[in-house]
Structure 1
């Protein structure tokens, strides 16, 4: 059986190529936007990246099918074994957790900013639909191109990525380059009040009418924390700002993400209310406190999200290290 025949058979069961499934690292944000709970507009003086829109969605859908993992959506949130006896999440408040996280990332060495011609490689598991899928993408740091591996053949004989020209720094209405995102976050202070003031002055995302200031702050913080490359001190400030958002709760045990990794789950009810029926969860590494994924919860079940398998700055699209 030749490869194209096999791909056509796989494609028959491929999930619909909606943006929530195909845009890496953005399933939670886009789903919220689709249900009119978030709205994005152009950044002001310093433009930021909201999402990297990758082209050729049909080809990516084929890739997703080839790499399908077979896990079922709607799985229950299950505990995972703690990596350290000293990590006790029971009864911990959001403010306590995020202050610990901020202090931890502040001690990390500064991130070396990528060159404009380097690429951000990501591989992640996307949850949602009939089964989980793994997706690999590359995005140039200056936002001039994206790339993907449509046949899962990179690294094999004759396998090459397909590169799509982009212009994320060209003044469009939503997408901005990782470089612009990094530069903005590097200007943020490390205290909550300072970060919130800077975000409100920037007014990067138009406030949603009928929503509280806290919810609109949460929207902006969410977009920033979802960036590809971030300076540790900027992350610390964003964590402290996130701690001011009401109704956040820490799940009292480590959870297992879609990739099978143990993570701390920080939950915020969808829409800024105190309802627990629908919520966003941020997944943090229990040692580094870096964000390793996000997911959507409804009635105690995972209905969508993503978990990072790998991230790297590389010199060429198609490389993984």
Structure 2
């Protein structure tokens, strides 16, 4: 990253509360990418509190497509609308029961090989901005966090030539909380299988400085949500996250598969936004009902969906610009 680009990043962050770093993590590169594409609408998941009335959330609609990791460019899952997993009955099932089901399911999947440092994480993401037309983002982030390649005008008829930005995420320091895909993968790989053990590991790592206005459960949740959105997840680590999430209060399970406007279906888990539990603000995590990997997130206010974002595809590829 150049000096000018770093200056732009700092200017963009000048008015942001420190606690916002936690929810900026989904899409590890968004902080730096904003310096290049500030003129387009983006979804920002920031830590929220009653005092943060100035925080802006761009309302979006989730377009859920089953998105499993594509290793080395080879498809590892379906892209059609999935059916419910055998033996899964959402009616009457508690959140801990569902998350244990999900943990056992992902544990039974083939291992996810760690990419090489010089490989790239390809992500295609669909978003809808408030008052704007739907558009798709395509980007390639190097596994070691050294570079980002993306289009300067995503969603445009002519998005322009691919642009490369030098990032060095692993050298930014704690101020940015933009851990690289490699750092996230390797930490996830250390997590124990049980929920309490995972919570202990998260607290010892303390990757996000605790927000003193939140309860311990609130800070635990913000640590978990960052890792749930990691680009590459070892299945054992994801299972530990699900079991840790099951220990937190306030979760609700929608007792039927939810549908987006395109008709794609997913299991929906809702957790109150830390610091705003009494205001009926919640995050809704969408899980593939067969693989139980995360396929999207939505924002809930007063029981209504007001926004979200979703990955259409993810892949590990050998070169920036390559698609699976």
Q: Is TM-score (shorter-chain normalized) higher than 0.5?
A: yes
Contact kept? 2:61, 2:128, Cα under 8 Å: no
- Give the corresponding residue for 1:55: 33
The residue correspondences of 1:59-208 to structure 2 (distance < 5 A) are: 59=37, 61=39, 83-84=83-84, 86-131=87-132, 132-150=134-152, 160-172=161-173, 173=175, 174-208=177-211
Structure 1 residue 57: deviation in Å?
4.9
Distance 1:35 1:293, change over 3 A: farther
Distance 1:111 1:273, change over 3 A: same
Which one is further off, 298-307 or 92-101?
298-307
- Give the corresponding residue for 1:11: none
Structure 1 residue 259: deviation in Å?
6.0
Structure 1 residue 141: deviation in Å?
0.3
Structure 1 residue 60: deviation in Å?
7.5
Structure 1 stretches of 5 or more lacking a match? 1-18, 20-29, 42-47, 65-71
Matches of 1:126 and 1:95, distance apart in 2:
30
- Give the corresponding residue for 1:269: 272
Matches of 1:74 and 1:139, distance apart in 2:
23
The number of equivalent residue pairs is 272
Distance 1:82 1:152, change over 3 A: closer
Contact kept? 1:49, 1:178, Cα under 8 Å: no
Distance 1:258 1:268, change over 3 A: farther
Structure 2 stretches of 5 or more lacking a match? 1-8, 43-57, 63-80
The residue correspondences of 1:29-48 to structure 2 (distance < 5 A) are: 38-40=20-22
Contact kept? 2:106, 2:293, Cα under 8 Å: yes
CA RMSD of aligned residues (A): 3.4
Q: 1:166-201: per-residue Cα shift (whole Å, max 9, x none)?
A: 111114222121001111110111101110111111
Contact kept? 2:22, 2:223, Cα under 8 Å: no
Structure 1 residue 315: deviation in Å?
0.9
TM-score by length of 1: 0.74
Q: 1:202-229: per-residue Cα shift (whole Å, max 9, x none)?
A: 1111111131111111110111111110
2:212 matches 1:209? yes
TM-score by length of 2: 0.74
Distance 1:201 1:300, change over 3 A: same
